[in-house]
Structure 1
Amino acid sequence: MSLNDSLIMMVDDEPIMIDLIQFFLEDAGYQNFLGQSDSVCAVELVQTRKPDILLLDLVMPDVNGFEVLESLRSIESTQHLPIVVLTSSSDAETKLKALELGATDFLAKPVDPSELVLRVRNILTVKAYQDRLTYTDTLTELPNRKFCIERLSEAMLSAQEKQTELAVIGIKLTSFKTLNDSYGPSVGDAILKEAAARLLNGIRVSDLRDHQDTSESMKIIFKTSGDEFSVLLSDTQSDDDVSFVAEQLIKAFVAPFELEQHSLYISISLGIAVYPGDGDSAEVIIKNASYAANSSADDVPGGLQFYSQEANQHLQDRMQMQQDLKKAIENDDFYLVYQPQVDVVTGRVRGAETLLRWTHPSQRDISPGIFVPVAEQCGLMEEIGSWVFKHACRQAASWQKQGMDDFSVSVNVSSQQFQAPGFVEFVTACLEETQVIPETIVVELTESLAMTDLSKTDHVLRQLKALKVKISVDDFGTGYSSLSYLKSFPLDELKVDKAFVDGLPDNKGDQAITSAIITMAKKLNFLVVAEGIENQRQADYLGAAGCDLFQGFHFSRPLKVDDFNAYHKLHSQVAEVYLAEG
């Protein structure tokens, strides 16, 4: 908005004075003028119309200018409104009293036209600059949280009057903190600016939806916190309309960010809060949308979730779990179990996947599916992951000293752990400290993690390969479905995800996907592990398709060390009999 579009309001009991000032200002290009000769309703009118500057006469009947000034300065929304006092008095006492009550400037009556225009222009220029600092995120140039609260509050009043709904979409850059910590603030700033641009483009794309009347709707993007944005959608017609907009925003982040010679995939998660059902104030609606976005991020990056009132209790539970996890790290309350990976042909145990378990102080076991997302959200996963890796290496070394050196031990590595500075140095130290055979340790990472930053992933993986550890990609086929990186990454193993195993052997789609993965992996000389096998029919199909190792409840649940030792011994004996019989 240009300065000439600013709303100038004048309160003076002489209509002829109002007309004269309006003429002077319109002659200078200011076309947005509002005059009020009744000072009794002046304060209410200012609050309703929200002028950019107020010209205020002091000497008026019923309610004088001092009283109007004092009232406006006592109201939060008008505390900083520029108010120019019009006075024919030149005595110091009058001016001092006006200043004490919060006047911004003075204009002497009769008003000089050139002086009037100069004062108005200067004050509006300063106000525009101050508004920019107050209401704009300087990095992305988007409206900030303060402006979001004000605009949302106005929109909620309008929705209440019209008996309509509005929605706020909370948008969280779920991978931002990790990337910002890894690459530094310059890349972090570039990510935020590019994210803002993509969100704006996503909104423009959503405006092309031709079956929705958007003449009365409003879509505004705000930067509401360090790695979060919010979108205000007024006059929403249905949840489907809101979901459509959200889906366009998700699509805007599919392509990687090309920043400073890095190709970075930025994952986002979205949460939606609807007024009036999900809150009765702007702050509550924004908070609930943000909470829904964080809950969505826990489920799957790139997800979308509506807020529900039941989430309040869930939030409290998560906060308590964060505290319990911190204590668990201090008290060494975690333990490891190992799920056997069985040779398809001989039945011998050729591998073990390390899995984390936690016995809560309440003496109940908490599922990793519950506590791991909480640990990731509160920044504890790097520390917990380091504990897992070190203890897995110690156990592998212990087995090797007992003569059980015929199988590998796989260790899952989290995104926070893998992206952390010094990860390779940490692995090196673990190998040296435990004296484990490096070739028997398998570093397992998910496909989505591998694809976050292709160049960095490749660099770290090659450093790990130099240490002689092996590399496995878990959840293959469920992430970005990009196969090009397989040729360049120094991988040793692919794991066929349980999602594709569940439908075997009957589901044609799962048949096609698993067959393609296995065929491709074999051509690249990768070991293939099928996980999540729950029955013999699945095992028979995958064995015939060319899998090397089986893993799943059909063969064994994850076992504690003593039980794993017994399982390994039994299957070694079975394998010896099988080989002896040819």
Structure 2
Amino acid sequence: MDRSTIDSYEVVIQEFPLPAFILNTDLTIRSWNELAENHWGWTQQEVVGQTVPLLEREDMAFSQQIWHAFLERRQSVQLPNASLLHKTGTSVTSTLLLSPLLDDTGTVIAAFACCIPSAEQQTNMKPLFQGLMDLRHAFDQIASVAVFDARGTITYVNDQLIDVTGYCSEMLLNQPWSLILDSSSPVVTEIRTQLRERKAWSGRLSLTSQTGERKHLQATLLPIYDANRIRFQHLFIGNDITETTALEEELDFLVHHHEMTHLLNKRGFLREGEALFQSAASHDPIALILFDIDRFKVINDSFGTHVGDQLLQAMATRLLQHTTDVLAFHPTSDLFGVLLPAPSSNLLFQYARKLQQALQRPYYINGHSLIVSCTFGITVYPSEAKTLEDLYRRSEMALYAGKSIGTGTIQYLTHEMDAQFTRKIQLERSLFTALEDQSLYLAYQPIIELQTQVVKGFEALLRWNHTALGSIPPDEFIPLAEEASLITPINNWVIIEACEQLAKWQQTINPELTMAINISPHQFQSDSFIRTLQHIVTERLISPSSITLEMTENIAILQTQRTVERMHLIKSLGFRLSIDDFGTGYSSLQYLSAFPIDELKIDKVFIDGLATNDHALLDSIIQLGHNLELNLVAEGVETEHALAYLKTTSCQYMQGFIFSEPLSVQDIETRFLKP
């Protein structure tokens, strides 16, 4: 719709036989007819460009909420108790009908509003209706218009409706409205109910053209009564939104389907599955089977992702061939699922086994014969889950439990898994408030200079003391935080908190103290992490040379060039870098020489070997660090024997329970940092 079309509406409302006006999207009045002047007392000159004269102050916020919803939904809406101010200051309650005026992209650019007379307000409406007929030439430019009599017989159609339906006027006139509107449609049933109750109706409906094509209209129907309140005509006004509807349907398909296989994705599954849940008889069992391809990454790495993609498409095709009358879907990557009415446990297992065997037959792709195995996880509603989301997550848990047993497994949810799932949900929910309620906190383990036994600094370690479950180990709650997208704010808090604590100790106790902070591979790759480091530098929270960022060797197997560039960026900000748990991961002399690191932390496993005089590897690591001019920190020192041996080497620092376990701030200050 362009400016000229809106101008046509402005012309129409001046002759419109009801109080009517046009609203801009900012709720200002664009045009105002004479009947509106009579109804509310305001002249067009007084209200154009204004909102306040009409809306009562206390209704402004609520009216804006309705308006924003109207703009988003782009559908006509009837407001039965709209309270607008008369010029005299009195409140006039009217039924308003708002219809959107859309541009070519489907965006609301204005709204047509008219005041619908109540049955009590209507006198003989034939002159009014005749006025509508006199406007048919104007309506032909902007909308599809029809009139039905009390029996539903079509008595008038305009040119636009003829164009939309494909019927000529002779084929439509004196015919029942069911010729173009499906009388069995729930929407038509709703329309009949509204008209029977002497109410207007607005919304979307579909009709069938002469060629059988489905057309979609944004429509409004108004009942017109005589003085005796007997309905004798229905006015139909519609805008063809077929193209807009097609675009919406296309976008809806993209949002709810996997882009490669065109099966429902997880969002689509949750929508369609919820509909099945609602339609199922109360407590009828429903089973969810999730499965994925074992070692799918090996296929991608060996044959290329293009072969992996074709394998997924072939599996989706085969899945549909063997799953009639069930809901098949493809949530992500190589994960697929089937939702179906649950037969007995034995029959369900037989169904899963038969499906598994069908999916594991060879696939012939690009000259390759691929034989794959699939692991299945199964959960049943309502015995094992009460909602569709729970059903999905519990099936996912059963699937991964099955993969830990072996490939090609069919795994049901067990009571033990159920307990684990319940605990996981409880922990996930608690994590959202863990920073706020201070149940997440930092403990600090001293790092000691080996020869002098003087505290050099501390390593900050994240801990969680759950209010109900007690101490939760980091290797349990960190993965949960990553799944819940909470890891970034938690990581940023750890860095800032550790830096601020070190700054306090440097100012009050010892300006030479340092702090080591663990950085995960996920955090290392995050732009938020770099912004946090830049914030520390620009706000001068602490000298960055006092902070050592510890990264595991696994970071080395990430994109090497990007890893090196990011390390140099961190170093340029002034921070120190350390490789944590050295010797247990991706050990390579090549990356040690390429990375701008300052320190190696020797893993506890090499320190434990001293108990049996197995120190060859430890000596090699210490010599390597010495040759590369790196500081060395021995982790997990717990015995006098290990401590004595380390003192004979060139390892400079140590930490471990022989000196101190991780402690609270208060305990650190009491034991080690007395002024």
TM-score (normalizing by structure 1): 0.51
Partner of 2:624: 520
Which has the larger helix fraction?
Answer: 1
Instruction: Call closer, same or farther: CA 1:474–1:228 in 2, change over 3 Å.
Output: farther
Instruction: Call closer, same or farther: CA 1:437–1:340 in 2, change over 3 Å.
Output: same
- Runs of 5+ in structure 2 lacking a partner? 1-178, 185-249, 271-288, 313-327, 339-348, 362-373
Instruction: Call closer, same or farther: CA 1:312–1:396 in 2, change over 3 Å.
Output: same
Report deviation, 1:556. 0.5
Partner of 1:460: 566
Instruction: Call closer, same or farther: CA 1:392–1:139 in 2, change over 3 Å.
Output: same
Aligned mates of 2:291, 2:500 — CA distance in 1:
47
Kindly provide the CA deviation profile for residues 475-524 of structure 1, in whole angstroms up to 9, marking residues without a partner as x.
Answer: 2233333442211111111112224433433275xx44433333222222
CA contact (8 A) 1:496 1:530 kept: yes
Residue 633 (structure 2) aligned to one of 514, 526, 529 = 529
Report deviation, 1:569. 4.8
Aligned mates of 1:296, 1:478 — CA distance in 2:
28
Alignment of 1:80-159 (within 5 A): 139-141=259-261
CA contact (8 A) 1:273 1:286 kept: no
Letter matched to residue 340 of structure 1: P
Kindly provide the CA deviation profile for residues 416-444 of structure 1, in whole angstroms up to 9, marking residues without a partner as x.
Answer: 43222242221121234353122111111
Instruction: Call closer, same or farther: CA 1:173–1:540 in 2, change over 3 Å.
Output: farther
Residue 554 (structure 1) aligned to one of 646, 654, 658 = 658
State yes or no: 1:392 paired with 2:486: no
CA contact (8 A) 1:329 1:384 kept: yes
Aligned mates of 2:457, 2:498 — CA distance in 1:
13
Question: What's the secondary structure of 1:458's corresponding residue?
Answer: helix
CA contact (8 A) 1:273 1:285 kept: no
Partner of 1:438: 544
Aligned mates of 1:174, 1:291 — CA distance in 2:
19
Aligned mates of 2:591, 2:577 — CA distance in 1:
14
Question: What's the secondary structure of 2:452's corresponding residue?
Answer: coil
State yes or no: 1:226 paired with 2:332: yes
Tell me which moved more, 544-553 or 193-202: 193-202
- Runs of 5+ in structure 1 lacking a partner? 1-95, 102-129, 150-166, 176-189, 203-221, 246-269, 573-582
Partner of 1:252: none
Aligned mates of 1:323, 1:452 — CA distance in 2:
31
State yes or no: 1:326 paired with 2:326: no
Question: What's the secondary structure of 2:577's corresponding residue?
Answer: strand
Kindly provide the CA deviation profile for residues 439-475 of structure 1, in whole angstroms up to 9, marking residues without a partner as x.
Answer: 1111112222343222222222111111111011212
Partner of 1:52: none
Letter matched to residue 568 of structure 1: F
RMSD after superposition? 5.6
Residue 488 (structure 1) aligned to one of 594, 607, 632 = 594
| Structure of higher CA gyration radius | 2
Partner of 1:563: 667
Residue 417 (structure 1) aligned to one of 523, 547, 562 = 523
Residue 349 (structure 1) aligned to one of 455, 458, 462 = 455
Alignment of 1:132-211 (within 5 A): 139-141=259-261, 170=292, 197=307
Kindly provide the CA deviation profile for residues 236-289 of structure 1, in whole angstroms up to 9, marking residues without a partner as x.
Answer: 99xxx9xxx9xxxxxxxxxxxxxxxxxxxxxxxx9763799x999xx9998556
Report deviation, 1:337. 1.5
Kindly provide the CA deviation profile for residues 341-396 of structure 1, in whole angstroms up to 9, marking residues without a partner as x.
Answer: 11121111112100122332338333323322221221111101111110111111
Aligned mates of 1:148, 1:548 — CA distance in 2:
58
Aligned mates of 2:400, 2:561 — CA distance in 1:
28
Residue 417 (structure 2) aligned to one of 311, 321, 337 = 311
Kindly provide the CA deviation profile for residues 177-222 of structure 1, in whole angstroms up to 9, marking residues without a partner as x.
Answer: xxxxxxxxxxxxx99x9667459899xxxxxxxxxxxxxxxxxxx9
Residue 538 (structure 1) aligned to one of 639, 642, 646 = 642
Aligned mates of 1:145, 1:538 — CA distance in 2:
55
Instruction: Call closer, same or farther: CA 1:201–1:551 in 2, change over 3 Å.
Output: farther
Instruction: Call closer, same or farther: CA 1:228–1:379 in 2, change over 3 Å.
Output: farther
CA contact (8 A) 2:502 2:513 kept: no
Partner of 1:360: 466
How many residue pairs match? The answer is 381
Partner of 2:475: 369
Aligned mates of 2:644, 2:305 — CA distance in 1:
47
TM-score (normalizing by structure 2): 0.45
Aligned mates of 1:293, 1:531 — CA distance in 2:
37
Letter matched to residue 427 of structure 1: L
Partner of 1:479: 585
CA contact (8 A) 2:631 2:652 kept: yes
Question: What's the secondary structure of 1:449's corresponding residue?
Answer: helix
Aligned mates of 1:234, 1:528 — CA distance in 2:
59
Q: Which has the higher contact order (CA 8 A, sep 6+)?
A: 1
Moved over 6 A (4+): 142-149, 171-175, 199-202, 231-237, 283-286, 293-297, 304-307
CA contact (8 A) 1:173 1:228 kept: no
> How much identity, in percent, do the aligned residues show?
29
Aligned mates of 1:279, 1:305 — CA distance in 2:
17
Letter matched to residue 639 of structure 2: N
Instruction: Call closer, same or farther: CA 1:422–1:194 in 2, change over 3 Å.
Output: farther
Aligned mates of 2:410, 2:626 — CA distance in 1:
39
Instruction: Call closer, same or farther: CA 1:287–1:561 in 2, change over 3 Å.
Output: closer
Alignment of 1:207-286 (within 5 A): 224-227=330-333, 229-230=335-336, 273=377
